[in-house]
């Protein structure tokens, strides 16, 4: 199997490294291109056998699967560059939520799918959202998802719920780490505990909580009930959070969706202009 990657920024490089570290792909199977040649060259130096392509077309030509890991407004330029070398049997995988399947299927003659990875995939954990295009056959969907199984739990979602699904799987690690950061800072300020010790405790707690919620048989509500003793310390803390966080997550979802709609409009304008 030969894989091409166009874009080796934050998420593109995470995907490449996770797939290599998991054993899903060998470096020799990967050809990658980036607008800044030095970035992909560093990957090639780190992973012997990985090919640093001189152009996006070279990264795409003859590959079984081509991952597009670029910013939404760069898609049209990249598509124009790779269209002449794309064959119907190839699978092009987009990792950008505002670029819709219809945009890609209108512009490319091949099979198209969309995945939304997460930084958690770097440690071979978390989920990867999968939204498959109409040209994807059942065996194509299974093949892509089997590849992703090496680094995550693939979850099929409707494109209509891409944004909220991505909020929960891809944005939430940053949101959760922000919560922990503020909790740690408050612990240091209020008690004098060292930042290093507080960070270790909070990080290990997060790992354990994740296991309880995935393989431990708990959901968020049942876990709180198990820890929350009536009249106890945890109950007092949860009561404060219930009051102070009331409506905050609704506003958070509102903000992420508003930004998504803004990006979607910009992408739509680019692809509409191309059609004309």
Binding-site residue numbers for NADPH are 56
User: Which helix (H) or strand (E) segment is 265 a member of?
Assistant: helix 248-275
Identify the three-state secondary structure at position 266: helix
Helices assigned H by DSSP within 160-232 = 162-166, 172-191, 195-214, 220-227
Task: Enter the tokens of residue 154.
Answer: 């693939």
Q: Which residues are annotated as a binding site?
A: 6-11, 56
**Residue 130 pairs with which residues in a beta bridge?**
115, 156
Angstrom distance (rounded) from CA 59 to CA 137 = 24
Angstrom distance (rounded) from CA 204 to CA 207 = 5
Angstrom distance (rounded) from CA 238 to CA 247 = 15
137: which DSSP letter? Answer: -
Give Cβ neighbours of residue 153 (< 8 Å, ≥ 6 apart).
Answer: 126, 127, 128
Residue 114 sits at the vertex; the CA angle it makes with 109 and 116, to the nearest 5 degrees, is: 160
Angstrom distance (rounded) from CA 7 to CA 195 = 36
Residue the block writes with tokens 């991952």: 67
Max CA distance (Å), the chain: 68
Q: Which residues are annotated as a binding site for NADP(+)?
A: 6-11
């Amino acid at each position: 199997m030969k894989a091409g990657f166009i874009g080796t920024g934050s998420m593109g490089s995470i995907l490449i490294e996770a797939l290599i570290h998991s054993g899903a792909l060998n470096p020799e199977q990967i050809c990658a291109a980036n607008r800044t040649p030095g970035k992909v060259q560093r990957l090639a130096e780190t992973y012997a056998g990985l090919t640093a392509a001189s152009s996006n077309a070279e990264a795409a030509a003859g590959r079984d699967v081509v991952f597009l890991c670029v910013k939404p407004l760069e898609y049209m330029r990249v598509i124009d560059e790779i269209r002449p070398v794309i064959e119907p049997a190839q699978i092009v995988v987009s990792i950008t939520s505002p670029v819709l399947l219809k945009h890609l299927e209108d512009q490319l003659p091949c099979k198209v799918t969309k995945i939304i990875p997460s930084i958690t995939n770097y440690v071979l954990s978390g989920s990867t959202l999968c939204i498959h295009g109409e040209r994807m056959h059942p065996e194509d969907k299974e093949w892509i998802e089997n590849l992703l199984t090496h680094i995550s739990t693939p979850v099929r979602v409707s494109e209509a719920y891409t944004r909220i699904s991505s909020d929960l799987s891809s944005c939430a690690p940053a949101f959760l780490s922000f919560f922990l950061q503020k909790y740690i800072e408050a612990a240091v300020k209020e008690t004098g505990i060292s930042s290093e010790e507080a960070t270790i405790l909070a990080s290990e707690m997060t790992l354990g909580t994740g296991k309880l919620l995935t393989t431990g048989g708990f959901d968020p509500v049942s876990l709180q009930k198990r820890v929350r003793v009536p009249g106890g310390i945890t109950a007092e803390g949860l009561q404060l959070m219930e009051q102070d966080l009331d409506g905050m997550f609704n506003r958070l979802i509102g903000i992420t969706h508003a930004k998504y709609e803004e990006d979607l409009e910009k992408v739509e304008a680019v692809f509409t202009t191309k059609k004309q």
